[in-house]
Amino acid sequence: MLRQVLFAKIHRAVVTDSNPDYMGSVTIDPVLLEATGMVVNEKILVADCETGARFETYVLGGERGSGSVVVNGAAAHLTEIGHHILIMSFADMTPEEMATHRPCVAICDERNGIAELLRYDPAPAEVARVSGSG
């Protein structure tokens, strides 16, 4: 059985711009993408820390080193410039894969630089197998 688990997260990125007339997506500085392993066109879940709004969209690559995090399309109505957002990607994994996967998390500073890069502990293999077999 495959389970959806956190693959990577960009934590507390600051929305630098929004473009409601664009066709969806979040444009992200490639420095943040490479640090976490996220890729262009990948599906993401975004949560606004100020309003609690959540939305799904996909990644576009921005200008390297710009610190850009631009919310495009209809989702631009769910957040504002200056808001902090969480950007999460997920992957389907077997219990064995879950036991070794350590999601990469980039914690952003106020300019969307990487203040800290960390990895979460993996799910214990016996827990992933037992809870998924019922």
Catalytic position from the list 25, 66, 131, 133? 25
CA-only gyration radius of the chain, Å: 15
Active site residue 25: yes
Question: For 22, which DSSP code?
Answer: S
Catalytic position from the list 22, 58, 66, 120? 58
Active site residue 58: yes
32 Cβ neighbours under 8 A, 6+ residues apart: 10, 13, 38, 69, 106, 108, 112, 114
Catalytic residue numbers? 25, 58
